[in-house]
Amino acid sequence: MKFQPKFLAVAAVTAMMAATLPAGAQTARDQIRVVGSSTVFPFTSAVAEQFARGGQFRAPIVESIGTGAGFRAFCAGVGVTHPDISNASRRITAAEVASCRQNGVTDIVELKIGFDGIVMATRRGSPQMNLTREHIWRALAREVPVNGQWVRNPYNTWNQVDPALPALAIEAMGPPPTSGTRDSFNELVLVGGCSTVAEIRAITDSAERNRRCQQIREDGKFIEAGENDNLIVQRLASGAPGAFGIFGYSFLDQNRDRIEGKTVDGVAPTFENISSGRYPVARSMYIYLKKAHVGVIPGLREFVTEYASERAVGQRGYLASRGLITLQQADREAQRQVVQSLTNLSM
């Protein structure tokens, strides 16, 4: 058998030429592109699928790359090569708005879609525990005040934190620092929990206070379990009765045979409590729309209209059945108004 050197050369040249070809394909785009948070991803993709079923437009492409990375891509510029919508499990920051503006993305529409509750779940049938956020902070902080002295967290069991709690070993599995859920956990549970501690209040330097509040112990009591929440659920179900998992409400909703949510500050993590704002560990979820792309990318306005519609985010909408905690009626009306008029974001 003979090998023609031509064959190799032709194959390589063909492949190289394929690289120059898409330059033309870039000029138009008939699919909406969404980037951002992995927490909002399941909801946006459900809307995308429903939207495409109308048969009028192609299904939007939804990328799950994280809130921060999403904003970076979103703010990179205006034009078909840049995404139209960014999912976020927190509000856009002033710095991100500034970076958007620098790249010409001046008009941004903010749409609040609902809440996500962060639950503290244990294996089903674990003993009753009336946790407060201060308990959680004391159990998981790296350094805690004991008799007025800051010491390495000495607690091994919950009843050492508070005698009213059961004598179960402290063990918590939660998301890594790169996750948006972890940011919210830090902010809502740890910062919220430490604010009632006298020694923390005594610290005047806010950076120092934040550091003391948000540092989590590293002696193996808190396990960073990775981004996969299903894995945490599995490990809880087969683990010790006192072991905690920290993740989004929808995973509790889907696994009630194996795990149960603990009350925090006396409020149980139920749909009603999260929606009404009584449950203390809940965050809002947003999508951000690039106004300059409306009218350029076909179906963009229709897509956000679908997203704000009652059949999507309403009390009985299809997102609620996927675990979205919906906004109150009046808020939903307000969001629909925003979509109607495409009101610019105001910080």
Partner 1 sequence: MSDVTHSGGVGLPSRHIGDEAAKRLKRRYAAEARFKFFGMAALSAACLSLLVLLWTIVSEGYTAFQQTHIKIEVEFSPDNIAPAGTADRRRLMAGDYRAVLFEALDRKWSDVTDRDGQRLLEGLFGSGAEVQLRDMVVADPSLIGRKVEVWLLSHSDVDMFFKGHVGADEASGGRMAARQVAWIEALRAKGEIEKRFHGRFLTGADSRDPEMVGVLGGVMGSIFTLAICFLLAFPLGIMAAIYLEEYAPKNRFTEIVEININNLAAVPSVVFGLLGLAVFIAFFGMPRSTPLVGGFVLALMSLPTVIIAARAAIKAVPPSIREAALGIGASKMQMIFHHVLPLAMPGILTGTIITMSHALGETAPLLMIGMVAFITDVPGGALDAATVLPVQIFMWADNPERGFIEKTSAAIMVLLAFMLVMNAGAIWLRKRFERRW
Binding site for partner 1 (CB under 8 A): 1-5, 8-9, 11-12, 14-15, 18-19, 21-23, 25-26, 31, 33, 35, 38, 41-42, 44-46, 48-50, 52-56, 58-59, 61-65, 81, 227-230, 248, 250-251, 253-258, 318, 322-323
Q: Residue 21 or residue 198: which is nearer to partner 1 going by CB? A: 21
Rounded least distance, CB 221 to partner 1, Å? 26
| Residue 284 C-beta: closest distance to partner 1, Å | 19
User: What gap in Å lies between CA 149 and CA 143, rounded to an integer?
Assistant: 10
Q: Which is nearer to partner 1, 81 or 328 (CB)?
A: 81
CB 30 within 8 A of CB 298: yes
Which is nearer to partner 1, 125 or 295 (by Cβ)? 125
For residue 123, the minimal CB distance to partner 1 (Å) is 14
Nearer to partner 1, 299 or 323 (CB): 323
Instruction: Closer to partner 1 by CB, 58 or 301: give it.
Output: 58
- In this structure, what DSSP letter does residue 322 have? G
Q: Smallest distance from the beta carbon of 84 to partner 1, in angstroms?
A: 12
Closer residue to partner 1, CB minimum distance, 26 or 344: 26
Q: Is 47 helix (H, G, I), strand (E, B) or coil?
A: helix
Beta bridge partners of 114: 285
* Alpha carbon distance 150, 205 (integer Å): 16
**If we measure between CA atoms, which residue out of 129, 228, 230 comes closest to residue 176?**
228
Q: Which two three-digit tokens encode residue 254? A: 């889907």
| Nearest-approach distance from CB 305 to partner 1, in angstroms | 16
Instruction: Answer whether 193's CB lies under 8 Å from 199's CB.
Output: no
Please give the single-letter amino acid code of residue 159: N
Q: Exposed, middle or buried, 165 (CB in 10 Å: 0-12/13-18/19+)? A: buried
Minimum CB–partner distance for residue 65 and partner 1 (Å)? 7
Q: Between 49 and 272, whose beta carbon lies closer to partner 1? A: 49
Nearer to partner 1, 172 or 319 (CB): 319
Q: Please count the CA atoms within 13 angstroms of the CA of 124 that sit on its side-chain side.
A: 10
Q: Which residues pair with 34 in a beta bridge?
A: 62, 85
DSSP state of 169: B
Task: State the DSSP string of 91-108.
Answer: PPPHHHHHHHHHTT---E
Of the two residues 146 and 296, which places its CB atom closer to partner 1 in the complex? 296
CB of 260 to partner 1, least distance (A): 10
User: Shortest approach of partner 1 to residue 322 CB, angstroms?
Assistant: 7
C-beta of 294: minimal distance to partner 1 in Å? 20
Give φ, ψ of 162 to 5 degrees: -150, 120
Q: Which residue has the tokens 């459900």?
A: 46
Centre a 10 Å sphere on the Cβ of residue 267 and count the other Cβ atoms it contains.
Answer: 14
Query: Strand 222-224 to strand 172-174: parallel, antiparallel, or no bridges (unpaired)?
Result: parallel
